[in-house]
Amino acid sequence: MNFELIDVRTEAGKVGIVTLNRPKQLNALNDQLMSELGEALKAFDADPAIGCMIITGSEKAFAAGADIGVMASYSFADVYKGDYITRNWEQIRTIRKPVIAAVSGFALGGGCELAMMCDFIIAADNARFGQPEIKLGIIPGAGGTQRLPRAVGKSKAMDMALTGRMMDATEAERSGLVSRIVALDKLMEESLGAALMVCDYGQLAVIAAKESVNRAFESGLSDGVMFERRLFHALFSTQDQKEGMDAFVNKRKAVFTHS
Ligand code: CAA
């Protein structure tokens, strides 16, 4: 596949890495970039050798938001009929294997929303998050008003959406938006380490864990726990459960076969 606005590579034959590559525009997200990203993630998801994916940007910007130059001339008819955002930005929601956002620099507007669509965020110490759409006369449009309050609570999400201020990495970690902060020069090493760890676990359990945690955002507690319980029970039918528990009992390293 030929991509223009993203770089795609694999590490250790099992981690798929997508680097957003519009450095002069601070990785502003346009339709072409988001379509390419969706295609790349879908291809990795379908590749049995790949166990986990990472999306990253440049040191200065993960992504500074949707491309404002392109959006400036859009009319209501353009975005409504063209199904702007829904048509291609949300392909990431269909990806079943884990996707980690490795964020350095600005993650603003659609960039913050893209990071939040990933399964977890590892932030470099220079990362800055924000939903500054209010300054443009709009509101977040790729899930920011929904995912941000779920991550950081109502008060902070309102503060971000209404004032357009940025959050640094320390505040983002303290608020639960990111899972860990690392030194900028260790961002890829740490993210790759996490991805490789995920790859070595049984893929059936990994996908079940992702589905089950995501269900917490879509359901009430009883339904969510029931969903979890059913997946938990189902995993006792897998070879990986036999292997994982036998390895523990016999004090050896488990070798999962993803079956
Ligand atoms: N769209 C298009 N171009 C962008 C951009 C964006 N979101 N963000 C930055 N750029 C471009 C700038 O226009 C500039 O281009 P030129 O060199 O051709 O002038 C280049 O990237 C570098 O940017 P700056 O000179 O502004 O760099 P800076 O370091 O002074 O400031 C910044 C960095 C604070 C991130 C600033 O660029 C900025 O505020 N960007 C806009 C952030 C924003 O509003 N994002 C939300 C977009 S709306 C959205 O995302 C909707 C949604 O929910 C889906």
Task: Check if 106 has its Cβ closer than 6 Å to any atom of ligand 1.
Answer: yes
Residue range 106-127, pLDDT digits in tens? 999 999 999 999 999 999 999 9
Report CA 66 to chain centroid distance, whole Å.
16
pLDDT band at 33 (very low <50, low <70, confident <90, very high): very high
Three-class SS state of 95: coil
Report the C-alpha gap between 181 and 172 in whole angstroms: 9
Integer Cα distance of 40 and 7 in angstroms:
9
118 vs 97: CA distance, rounded Å: 11
Question: What mean pLDDT value characterizes the chain?
Answer: 97
State the DSSP H helix or E strand holding residue 32, giving kind and residue range, or none if neither: helix 31-46
Residues serving a catalytic function are: 66, 110, 113, 133
For residue 222, pLDDT over 80 is answered with: yes
1 band by pLDDT with thresholds 50, 70 and 90 = confident
Q: Whose CA is nearest to atom 39 of ligand 1?
A: 64
In this prediction the pTM is 0.97
Structure tokens at 39: 């295609």
Is pLDDT at 77 greater than 80 in this prediction?
Answer: yes
- The pLDDT of 76-104, averaged and rounded, is 96
CA of 102 to the centre of ligand 1 (A): 19
pLDDT of residue 11: 97
| Mutate-to-test residue for ligand 1 from 5, 24, 25, 26, highest number of ligand atoms within 8 A of CB | 26
- State if residue 136 touches ligand 1 by the CB under 6 angstroms criterion: yes
